[in-house]
């Protein structure tokens, strides 16, 4: 006996929840993928209290990074849980703080909670960003510990997962917006002050 075909509206109702679940999973994955697939250079624009500050950052997939000021002078770096600063443009580095593994694990758990509790999740697949095909994900969440509300957007390469652009809009008493425009930097190396 042949079954009657479902009307188009029924097909939409049955398929929408699965598509929405994929969107949520993909958006949360973009939020948590701090270990981007290749080394990258970030141009960072911070807008706060009517001021705009530009800076730069370099980071590698293994959790190493370096911040540079608007003149591209190295000012700080991090390797795992060790944080350093430099007063002489990167000629020498001073250890400022070091996190224990427990502290790092707690931070990772906090990021996971932020992602799990995110709301207003939106996804746009296969959109154009400066001639590249990307997937755009947007989420609202509350920062663990501070309670500051954040809306984040991620423009992630549809094929490689590279995050070409990331925007974080922070609410609360001192609203600010941080925009990161990223470029792959395959030859990038981050110095290690401890050798």
Q: Per residue in 92-107, pLDDT tens?
A: 999 999 999 999 889 8
Rounded Cα distance between 136 and 30, Å, is 9
What is the pTM (predicted TM-score) of this model? 0.82
Q: Predicted confidence band at 35 (pLDDT cuts at 50, 70, 90)? A: low
Whether 11 has a pLDDT exceeding 60, the answer reads no
8-184, CATH topology level: outer membrane lipoprotein receptor (LolB), chain A (2.50.20)
Long-range pairs for 82-90: beta carbons < 8 A, 24 or more residues apart: 82/194, 84/193, 90/66, 90/191
Rounded Cα distance between 31 and 53, Å, is 24
Q: Where are the domains of the chain?
A: 8-184
Whether 195 has a pLDDT exceeding 80, the answer reads no
Q: Is 89 left (phi over 0), alpha (psi -120 to 50) or beta?
A: left
Rounded Cα distance between 176 and 49, Å, is 7
Least confident of 104-108, 154-158, 176-180: 104-108
């Amino acid at each position: 006996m042949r079954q009657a075909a479902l009307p188009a509206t029924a097909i939409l109702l049955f398929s929408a929840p699965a598509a929405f679940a994929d969107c949520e999973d993909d958006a949360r994955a973009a939020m948590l993928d701090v270990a981007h697939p290749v080394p990258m250079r970030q141009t960072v624009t911070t807008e706060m209290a009517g001021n705009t500050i530009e800076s730069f950052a370099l980071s590698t997939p293994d959790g190493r990074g370096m911040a540079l000021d608007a003149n591209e002078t190295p000012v700080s770096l991090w390797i795992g849980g060790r944080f350093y600063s430099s007063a002489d443009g990167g000629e020498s580095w001073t250890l400022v703080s070091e996190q224990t593994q427990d502290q790092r694990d707690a931070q990772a758990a906090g990021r996971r909670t932020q992602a799990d509790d995110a709301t207003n999740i939106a996804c746009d697949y296969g959109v154009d960003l400066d001639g590249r095909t990307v997937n755009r994900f947007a989420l609202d969440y509350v920062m663990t510990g501070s309670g500051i509300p954040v809306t984040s957007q991620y423009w992630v390469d549809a094929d490689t997962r590279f995050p070409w652009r990331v925007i974080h809009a922070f609410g609360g008493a001192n609203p600010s917006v941080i925009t990161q425009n990223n470029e792959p930097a395959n030859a990038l190396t981050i110095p290690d002050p401890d050798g």
